[in-house]
Chain A
């Protein structure tokens, strides 16, 4: 059974710092990996989708990498801002099991302080 782990569970950094969030998964048989942002009391906003054949994707200050063989992904946030404070979730689309179902990690709660 696919399991997705995100460490650390919480992270606090000063404004302006570059930071890396980690995601690991146990089964490398995936179609892709998706990073989401969740603000308190809100839904999930898709940030980046990396196909299994890709190594990385970039959107603005965000860069996500994928090493499928080792079961790892990182989300790099450059020049962090207080507005980046949120919970970041990663999820994989497993090849086994059918459908288009996502398996989620439990998230990293990020706080960027002034």
Chain B
């Protein structure tokens, strides 16, 4: 049972570099999400996709872009990384419907130097 799989698990970037975080789920969920976790801040929503073909901004979208490639995959792109984007990034998915249970990946620990 793979669930939600994120790659890579760790990444170090230099300021100004770009990269894409990959996320795939095998639970046939319609909704997918990207969160970031920072010490003392809790998890904050960056972007979400309620269904294939749709994406919407969350609480902290600046500096990020997303692509819902298909029902399984939802990627997060940093076009020009900044030290403020040093964080742990989590992808999550949930079935259709409001208030359904969310399932999370193992996270990507990103450091921007």
Contact = CB atoms under 8 A, between A and B. Distances in A.
Contacts of B48: 99-101
Interface stretch (A13-21, A43-51, A67-75): A43-51
Nearest to A93: B99
A93 B102 CA distance: 10
B95 to A, nearest CB: 9
Task: Give chain B's interface secondary structure class.
Answer: strand
Interface in A3-60: 4, 30-32, 34, 36, 41-46, 49, 51-52
B101 A99 contact: no
B43 A100 contact: no
Given A42-B107, A99-B31, A101-B33, A106 B42 contact: yes
Interface size class of A (residues with CB under 8 A): 20 to 34
Interface of A: 4, 30-32, 34, 36, 41-46, 49, 51-52, 89, 91, 93, 95, 98-102, 104-107
Given A34-B102, A46-B102, A104-B35, 7 more contacts: A44-B104, A91-B43, A99-B31, A100-B94, A100-B98, A100-B102, A101-B48
25 contacts: A4-B42, A32-B99, A34-B102, A41-B109, A42-B106, A43-B4, A43-B104, A44-B90, A44-B92, A46-B101, A46-B102, A93-B99, A99-B50, A100-B31, A100-B99, A101-B48, A101-B58, A102-B33, A102-B43, A102-B45, A104-B35, A104-B42, A104-B43, A105-B42, A107-B42
